[in-house]
Amino acid sequence: MNRKGTLTTWNDDRGFGFIAPDEGDSQVFAHISAYAGRGRPRAHRKVSYRIERDNQGRLRAGQFRLVGTAGLAAGFRPGVWVAVGVVLLVGVALGLAFQRGWVPVGLPAAYAMASLLTFIAYGIDKRAAGKDRRRIPENRLHLFEVLGGWPGALLAQQVFRHKTRKVSYQAVFWLAVLVNIAGVAWFLVAPEASSFRHQLGFGEWPVAHPLIW
């Protein structure tokens, strides 16, 4: 039987909060693993939920979702769409570079694979954080980003609401983005890397005149 209440508190970094029933009963624990709605839960929003008991016999929300306009708004956070736009822009740029013969198929494929693996790693780390399990080291996530997985990391941060509020982490993340872009740019145009480019099947990058797509 579905009940109605208010999500009075919500810790999005740890993935849990408490629901105050409309009937005035005691607050009920709610975990992100039981969330069945769109987007992410938000504090002080009306929710619909079911009651179940955990392994210790304590009451908890077995399944809950935001209701009304809050439920509709949860699935349309601007940050997600910005991240999707950036990922699409990177994909289009790499695709056009491959089509023009400037880069081999291996480069866009490497970005796609690294981004997918990084996205999955963020999801695993987020789930581990909510269940107090062993986490993926931050240095390993940053290594994935430097190796070309930063578009997937950017999308994962917004989709999972993970690592977005930690200023020190965000500073290192954007440094990893700059290192990756600078490293690829150097490899594409530096005379010192010319022999390596030819060995890997890279074409001549048009740097002597403005690039118009």
Q: Is 56 helix (H, G, I), strand (E, B) or coil?
A: coil
Q: Is the pTM of this model over 0.85?
A: no
Q: Where are the domains of the chain?
A: 3-74, 78-200
CA angle 178, 129, 3 (to 5 degrees): 125
Query: Are 49 and 63 spatial neighbours (Cβ–Cβ below 8 Å)?
Result: yes
pLDDT for 213 beyond 80: no
Q: Copy the structure tokens of residue 63.
A: 């399944």
Q: How far is 139 from 117, CA to CA, in rounded Å?
A: 15
User: Looking at the domain 3-74, which fold is it?
Assistant: OB fold (Dihydrolipoamide Acetyltransferase, E2P) (2.40.50)
pLDDT in tens, 53-92: 877 878 888 888 888 655 445 555 678 889 999 999 999 9
- The confidence band for 186, taking pLDDT boundaries of 50, 70 and 90, is very high
Distance CA 40, CA 75 (A): 7
170 — pLDDT class (breaks 50, 70, 90): very high
Whether the CB-CB separation of 148 and 138 falls below 8 Å is answered with no
